[in-house]
Amino acid sequence: MTRHAYPSDVPETPPVPEPTYAERARTLVYLGRVGMLSTLSRKHPGHPFGSVMPYALDAQGRPLFLISTMAMHTQNLQADTRASLLVTQPGWEGDPLAAARIMLMGETSRFAGPEAVVARKAYLAQHPNAAYWVDFEDFGFYRLEVADIYFVGGFAAMDWVSAKDYLDAQPDPLADAAAGIIEHMNRDHAAALVTLARAFGGAEANEATMVSVDRLGFKLRVRAGSRLSGARISFPREVTTSEECRAVFIEMLHAAR
C-alpha cells in the first residue's frame, strides 16, 4: 500500500477501520457506468488507443462491453486482445486528483450463447438505450478478463490490487444509498457533522462536509479557519442499510452531546 506522509512528532494512532482497496475498487466499478477503454492501435503499433466505453458487470465484477465490428477499438481487439479500462468516481465535483479511480487490465474475448443472454439483460439494465442496436449483426458482447488492477483512492492512497482480491470482493452494501446519505447529511445536518468531527475526529472544526460513507464509517472534509483537512470516523458497528446508518448517526450524536 503506497501512502505519502510528512514527518510528524505526533504519536501514531491506530488507523480507523475502512474497506480494503479491493472492496473500494469493486464498489467504484459497480457504481460506474462509463469508462475509457484503451486498446493497442493497429494503425500505430504500440500506441494506446482510448475510447469512451459504456459497460456493465457480470456476477463476478468483470466488465462487459457491447461493441461493433465497425468500431476502431473492436478492430484493435481483434488484432490484440490486451486492453485496460479506466473508471473514475462518478458524480465527483471537486479536485479530480482527489477523486477515486481505477484501472483494470487484462484481455478481452467475445462470447455468445447463454452467456450473451445473461450479459444482454445486465447490459440493458444499465444502458436501456442500447436496446435500439443490441441486436444489430455487427454488435456483440465482449468481456474483460481482469488480470490486474491499479486503484487510487485519492491523495496518498494507491496500490495494485490482485485480480483474485478484486473478484472475491463485493460492492459496499451502502453503495447505492451513499450519494443520498451524503446529500442529506450535508444539506440538513451541517451542524451535526461539525459536532461529529469534533467529538470523534479530534478536529477543531468550524465547518464539516461529508465526502464519503461506507459500512464501516465516513469521511469528512473539515475546515478550521483557513485550514482544510480530512477526518475518517468509524461507526460503532457495521451498517448495511440506510436505515441502520441513520440510527447509528443519531446514536453517535447523542453520545457526542
pLDDT digits (tens, 9 = 90+) for 188-209: 999 999 999 999 988 788 899 9
The pTM of this model reads 0.88
Query: Within 13 Å, how many C-alpha atoms sit on residue 89's CB side?
Result: 20
Average pLDDT of the chain is: 91
Q: Tell whether 2 is covered by a domain.
A: no
| Grid cell listed for 77 | 481487439
At residue 5 the predicted structure's pLDDT band, cuts being 50, 70 and 90, is very low
pLDDT higher than threshold 80 for residue 20: yes
Please give the single-letter amino acid code of residue 122.
Answer: A
Whole-number percent of the chain with pLDDT over 70: 95
Q: Tell whether 112 is covered by a domain.
A: yes
**3-state SS assignment for residue 51:** strand
CATH code, domain carrying 207 = 3.20.180.10
Enumerate residues 6+ apart whose C-beta is below 8 A from 184: none
pLDDT at 30: 97
Q: Tell whether 13 is covered by a domain.
A: no
How does pLDDT run across 28-48, given as a tens digit for each residue?
999 999 999 999 999 999 999
At residue 93 the predicted structure's pLDDT band, cuts being 50, 70 and 90, is confident
Domain co-membership, 140 together with 210: no
